[in-house]
Structure 1
């Protein structure tokens, strides 16, 4: 009897160990505030493998089924990890997570707290903010490690563009996050979290190493409770008439949906159109069609806002709805109406073997653009599977007008509409230690373009379709991950062209053609991961391609492209990377057409049907040192690429025209690319110092009238900047830039070197507690000829009144009333010097309202 009782007791124990237990409870912080979105993992106590997970709701509540004896792990950014052992009969659990903050030493105006948890670095934005800052972009420009593009809002961290932009853990903006960067009120942002080695697809987290960084914007509590928004509007006058500027922003954040709406318009040179363009597009097919018609417009890149004469309207609507804990639906709509004008004088000197050729023209340019973009995205991102389907459309109606007077006088009008549709589908499934992925990418592009040059008329119709579908599988063998994908890629390109009014002595002016590609490929890959210290990746693509063209019998080829990458974390703050590979260019569909195409009044393009491709060998070395606690970031990347292409670019001078094409002559090249970036917080002078260096050297060659002309180019860009508050409440920033562009034309026995310097300083001085003066100065020292420089200085001043909900600014721009800006550039055996009109003196009164 005693043995029977013992046996029965053992059975009950075994049942109790294996029993599934319903566990539930709440999670709060030390102040008893509920914590939403806390990840709770169910981990086997013996194998340490995750058996499932859940997250807390808005009230911090959670529930999960787990076996008795397993461990529940509670984790969140900024909190210490908490573990709970599952027992039979355990009641409601109340879990309190402790803060895991580390304070940063004083590096700017005051001590800047930084919280570090694993690969996540959390910056408290208020400690970097200044009274004059309005948007997220304004503040991030002074945070060590960050760089923000002032034009489009793109964010870089440690010298590399971020891969994802989240607001409260949700991907509302996708690749078009520039609108948020330049619109989010900084006073509503609590912190910015940098997630290093970020893998956005959860199921890939244990299978694929990621060297990308993403950021997550955490909003203050008040931004969650109601609609929040800002208004910025103003008017004034300048040398070219009346001025206006209006920017409105509205946002609503809830646990299950987010909405962000903007409307912006101005004629003050602020290029809001660039904010609405994609800043990254991972997982999509690239737009393959290149513009065959392209008017030589004066560039607004050098001076940005000062040289842009515009009338722009832009509206965006972004909505994200969380359907379940793991799935969401995202809708984006953007509309832009943009009108730009530019005026310039350009002197272009073409270095030609038969004698240099000079064209001196004045340019009057105008462009009108209407662009409608829309995207519908569904995403299910769980620990066992990932599903995504993204349908997007980009419809662009663009018209350009250009009048040139001088050496070669012409009137031109270009009609350049472009319509693009994309659909991207991805399914990832985890089966134990195996992973299966199915991905399909599709694109359709249509370009019905036209050009009128005096009495000549060029019409082009281009249609392009491409699909790429592949299956990927991977499995784990200890610390090794073996994977591979196999897929099919197909493309079709339809071209037709008709040119009237040009002498028929140069070639064929009307015709049509079709080009198609069918490719089968496989990419085996092996990775080795030793915790987080060492990663090794060897991959190689093997492909078979079949090409078909209207005017020949087609062509087939097999390509082999191996690539090796090694990453080593020498210490928690220092990482090394080495990569090497052999790559092959793909056949360029844009060169397959049978006719001559008039690009503008001067250039004519000629198609070249040939299937040979270039091969390149590359070696790269990278080093990153990051110490966020001390505000120290250092990045060095060195890359060498050497290879050959079976073609040489051809320039044939025929009368007043330059005919561009390719010649079947091999060109070997050897190039170096070096990038160094460093930023350092200097506590004793409350400053941040940034330095960046870019160097690019390459040898090349061009065929001129049948003769080969080799030339080398070397480009060096150096920038250094200091943001400081040595005197309390006084903010000062200074930036110095240097550029050297050298073109050595050994075939012509000559060279061209262009240097330019830029000094930029800004100071903000408070007069009273609510009143301050901001002054900006820019000084340019540009080389425009062999021994001639042009010096230009711009000065701005603004009086800023800061009230509780209002900022009132009275600004006087270009006080010195400069009207022109001169610079020179080197490019492919040609040097051009431009004198460009800029906006004159302007007075602007604006009001910024934040409820």
Structure 2
């Protein structure tokens, strides 16, 4: 009997196994991108019960065991479900899921505020917003993966600055998008889309791999039907005088027209000038001219608003008109007027082979600046061609005054205007699998500047013009894209200087010169792309002609190869490696015959030489991004080796420090580690952000005729956590630590500087419409070797919110702190400063959004 029972069981088992089918499949979206974490279920036809289930992997693959006749259901968040019937000998299934917008709106609002669609990640903004947030930048600062610079509105995603900023698919702001991020009302924004591997030029889609991130801001429907406006203002009292702040913002969005108008003014320490910064301009020519004249002013931005004594005005106009589906014209005009004051007491130590020189000064600094920027741009961006012409002007009028008392009293005045014109033209045309491009870029910069130091006067006039014209072509050859560029780059730097009131023994005081250069170059490039790998090998080959007006003609042949490798390990993990050998171009701005009085103490001396510096760079890293899980990580390790035919010199001559270059090999090496990460923490309704940077550099200079090696180390850690565990109570803690070391082996000295900053912010609801906000800051700074200064700030504000209005009453710097101490290292010098800061202030403010 027992044998029969076993036989029956075996037969039943075999029959059951025969009825089972092993089903394999691959799930993608309509764009062909894999859908990870899709749910695969087998369901009984009659009972509707789930019999088995699994999930797709990062490449969209799955394997599941199912019975013949049952139903296979495939589902994923934000996609329509599909069902298949299991049949005998079922082949591998290739399943394409369609987007389900209704499901998205239901799930996104109630559950996860993120939608994945290929290389686009959509964030529902309101799910991250807090009651006291007003602008887009306020909310983005707490979204995993994002970093927002509160000063200029710059946005980074996964550690990289975004390449393009769109509003409803149109790029009105170009690189100056800080005005938008710091002004767009968060209540009018529906979603923020991050477009990874974004290529803004459509004709390049088939020819070039892009590793850039772009952002597209989608507005709510109600925000597109009328003018969006906001108004805010503040009045207050300080120890001596009154306080004010007023801002207005207006935006109009139509299907083919966009415009933004802003006006801002304040004297409460808000640096609105930074909002007009050009955050990304990688495709333009840049002038090599640097600030030869520069007053040694206290840093007015050290504590942002607490240390900035200002009177600022800024007005901007941005407009974009879409002509047709492919073409548009845009215009930008920004004007800023700014007056800043700063006062400090500084103690500096200059480390020399003959001993240490100590200088103590009190500084009173005033700067008046005016800046006008205007740009007009036409763009035609079609699938088979691209045309762009962009003309811009940037005009700066800057006057500075510095009065120093102490060891060496001085009075300095500077008139430092800079006028810049640029024009960028490009046209691309696609012919089947071939692409031809013509580009012409031009820049003109003028710097007629003067500076007066006691009885000395320095006048400099610099003109710089450069043009770069090239033609390039690309063609596809299977998995390869072969490209090449050939062009001419030429420029001229004219220089004249007149210095009076200093000893002739320092060098030539009056003189003029010109330096011209011309370069004929080719840039071959080969790119190989398969499903998960992108390999690029490129080089810069050029023949250069140099002519300095005080020397003979010189020629150089240069070659610089570059290598890049990117590997998409999974949908979330990506690795990259790059290496380059660069021969660094001669700097036209270093060729001038005279000494230049930079300030009351430092002098610069021109250097005419044609030897070239070489540098080898290697980089490794990875990124990990799980938008649904709220995780974003980026790590990059960089190693650099350099060899320069020059050595920096530093000579102490009387009361002056003369800096220049001298022939001689200088080897240096450096390495750096950059890590950024953010992680949402659901159980405390919070987010954790971490950013670290560590770099090391070894080099040397010649000081008073003797070679002096020095080593530098820098470490900076920034971490913050935002917690919203208690309903309507928001708590944020931020820690910033920095370490800077300068080691001088020949002198047996090391200068270590440490600083800590703790910042805590809490928002507590007192009733439905009234909140209490508290901000606490604690600084622990090294102000002398192993001596620290502690400073504690406390701010309070009451915020009352009704339908269209926000009102607030703020008391800042409750303990009326008046100065702030810090230290910093320069090459063979250390300085410790006590800077005046804003005292106690009482402000009443309103914010109105119709």
TM-score over 0.5 for the alignment?
yes
Structure 2 residue 164 is the aligned partner of structure 1 residue 200: no
Structure 2 residue 176 is the aligned partner of structure 1 residue 176: yes
User: Matched residues in 2 for 1:81 and 1:578: separation?
Assistant: 39
The residue number in structure 2 matching 1:818 is 817
CA contact (8 A) 1:201 1:386 kept: yes
Q: Secondary structure at the match of 2:739?
A: strand
Q: CA RMSD in A?
A: 1.9
Shift of 1:97: 7.4
Shift of 1:103: 8.8
The residue number in structure 2 matching 1:556 is 555
CA contact (8 A) 2:155 2:162 kept: yes
Structure 2 residue 845 is the aligned partner of structure 1 residue 846: yes
Summarize the Cα distance change of 1:394–1:785 in structure 2 as closer, same or farther, 3 Å threshold: same
Shift of 1:613: 1.6
Shift of 1:785: 1.4
The residue number in structure 1 matching 2:369 is 369
Shift of 1:388: 0.4
The residue number in structure 2 matching 1:479 is 479
Summarize the Cα distance change of 1:104–1:839 in structure 2 as closer, same or farther, 3 Å threshold: farther
Shift of 1:105: 9.8
The residue number in structure 2 matching 1:795 is 794
Structure 2 residue 510 is the aligned partner of structure 1 residue 520: no
User: Matched residues in 1 for 2:365 and 2:627: separation?
Assistant: 47
Summarize the Cα distance change of 1:788–1:105 in structure 2 as closer, same or farther, 3 Å threshold: farther
User: Matched residues in 2 for 1:366 and 1:521: separation?
Assistant: 46
Structure 1 gaps, min length 5:
1-38, 42-76, 83-95
Structure 2 residue 727 is the aligned partner of structure 1 residue 728: yes
CA contact (8 A) 1:633 1:679 kept: yes
Q: Over residues 555-608 of structure 1, what are the superposed CA-to-partner deviations in whole Å (9 max), with x where a residue is unaligned?
A: 110011000000000000000001011012111112100011111000111110
Q: Secondary structure at the match of 2:101?
A: coil
User: Matched residues in 1 for 2:433 and 2:553: separation?
Assistant: 44
CA contact (8 A) 2:433 2:476 kept: yes
Q: Secondary structure at the match of 1:629?
A: coil
CA contact (8 A) 1:104 1:114 kept: no
Summarize the Cα distance change of 1:355–1:526 in structure 2 as closer, same or farther, 3 Å threshold: same
Task: Write out aligned runs for 1:619-698 (5 A).
Answer: 619-698=618-697
Summarize the Cα distance change of 1:429–1:242 in structure 2 as closer, same or farther, 3 Å threshold: same
Q: Over residues 488-540 of structure 1, what are the superposed CA-to-partner deviations in whole Å (9 max), with x where a residue is unaligned?
A: 00010100010111121211100100100000110101000113x11000001
Structure 2 gaps, min length 5:
1-29, 33-76, 83-97
Structure 2 residue 201 is the aligned partner of structure 1 residue 212: no
User: Matched residues in 2 for 1:229 and 1:448: separation?
Assistant: 41
Summarize the Cα distance change of 1:607–1:776 in structure 2 as closer, same or farther, 3 Å threshold: same
User: Matched residues in 2 for 1:314 and 1:471: separation?
Assistant: 40
The residue number in structure 1 matching 2:309 is 309
The residue number in structure 2 matching 1:328 is 328
Shift of 1:301: 3.3
User: Matched residues in 2 for 1:572 and 1:291: separation?
Assistant: 46
Shift of 1:679: 0.5
Structure 2 residue 517 is the aligned partner of structure 1 residue 495: no
User: Matched residues in 2 for 1:354 and 1:453: separation?
Assistant: 28
Structure 2 residue 296 is the aligned partner of structure 1 residue 299: no
The residue number in structure 1 matching 2:830 is 831
Q: Over residues 172-204 of structure 1, what are the superposed CA-to-partner deviations in whole Å (9 max), with x where a residue is unaligned?
A: 101100000000000000010000000000000
Structure 2 residue 398 is the aligned partner of structure 1 residue 398: yes
Summarize the Cα distance change of 1:477–1:632 in structure 2 as closer, same or farther, 3 Å threshold: same
Shift of 1:666: 1.2
Q: Secondary structure at the match of 1:249?
A: strand
Q: Secondary structure at the match of 1:505?
A: helix
The residue number in structure 1 matching 2:770 is 771
User: Matched residues in 2 for 1:112 and 1:405: separation?
Assistant: 61
The residue number in structure 2 matching 1:24 is none
Q: Over residues 616-668 of structure 1, what are the superposed CA-to-partner deviations in whole Å (9 max), with x where a residue is unaligned?
A: 11110010000000000111000000011111111110111001111111110
Shift of 1:287: 2.3
User: Matched residues in 2 for 1:78 and 1:460: separation?
Assistant: 63
User: Matched residues in 2 for 1:398 and 1:81: separation?
Assistant: 63
The residue number in structure 2 matching 1:719 is 718
CA contact (8 A) 1:102 1:116 kept: no
Q: Secondary structure at the match of 1:211?
A: coil
Task: Write out aligned runs for 1:535-546 (5 A).
Answer: 535-546=534-545
CA contact (8 A) 1:236 1:242 kept: yes
Q: Over residues 133-179 of structure 1, what are the superposed CA-to-partner deviations in whole Å (9 max), with x where a residue is unaligned?
A: 00000000110000100000000001111000000000010110000
CA contact (8 A) 1:103 1:629 kept: no
CA contact (8 A) 2:301 2:308 kept: no
The residue number in structure 1 matching 2:569 is 570
User: Matched residues in 1 for 2:813 and 2:743: separation?
Assistant: 37
User: Matched residues in 1 for 2:634 and 2:605: separation?
Assistant: 43
CA contact (8 A) 1:104 1:630 kept: no
The residue number in structure 1 matching 2:754 is 755
User: Matched residues in 2 for 1:813 and 1:791: separation?
Assistant: 18
Q: Secondary structure at the match of 2:506?
A: coil
User: Matched residues in 2 for 1:587 and 1:105: separation?
Assistant: 58
Q: Secondary structure at the match of 2:203?
A: helix
The residue number in structure 2 matching 1:383 is 383
User: Matched residues in 1 for 2:828 and 2:282: separation?
Assistant: 35
Summarize the Cα distance change of 1:331–1:101 in structure 2 as closer, same or farther, 3 Å threshold: farther
Structure 2 residue 617 is the aligned partner of structure 1 residue 615: no
User: Matched residues in 1 for 2:78 and 2:227: separation?
Assistant: 27
User: Matched residues in 2 for 1:757 and 1:323: separation?
Assistant: 53
User: Matched residues in 2 for 1:682 and 1:370: separation?
Assistant: 46
Q: Secondary structure at the match of 1:356?
A: strand
User: Matched residues in 2 for 1:440 and 1:630: separation?
Assistant: 45
The residue number in structure 1 matching 2:452 is 452
Q: Over residues 726-771 of structure 1, what are the superposed CA-to-partner deviations in whole Å (9 max), with x where a residue is unaligned?
A: 2111000000111111111112111111111110010000000110
Summarize the Cα distance change of 1:842–1:720 in structure 2 as closer, same or farther, 3 Å threshold: same
Summarize the Cα distance change of 1:594–1:100 in structure 2 as closer, same or farther, 3 Å threshold: farther
The residue number in structure 2 matching 1:809 is 808
User: Matched residues in 1 for 2:780 and 2:106: separation?
Assistant: 39
The residue number in structure 2 matching 1:606 is 605
The residue number in structure 1 matching 2:590 is 591
User: Matched residues in 1 for 2:695 and 2:31: separation?
Assistant: 49
Summarize the Cα distance change of 1:411–1:80 in structure 2 as closer, same or farther, 3 Å threshold: farther
Structure 2 residue 740 is the aligned partner of structure 1 residue 738: no
Summarize the Cα distance change of 1:508–1:187 in structure 2 as closer, same or farther, 3 Å threshold: same
CA contact (8 A) 2:78 2:99 kept: no
Summarize the Cα distance change of 1:287–1:111 in structure 2 as closer, same or farther, 3 Å threshold: farther
The TM-score, its normalising length taken from structure 2, stands at 0.88
User: Matched residues in 2 for 1:469 and 1:683: separation?
Assistant: 54
CA contact (8 A) 1:462 1:496 kept: yes
CA contact (8 A) 2:300 2:341 kept: no
Summarize the Cα distance change of 1:439–1:306 in structure 2 as closer, same or farther, 3 Å threshold: same
The residue number in structure 2 matching 1:7 is none
The residue number in structure 2 matching 1:162 is 162
Shift of 1:81: 14
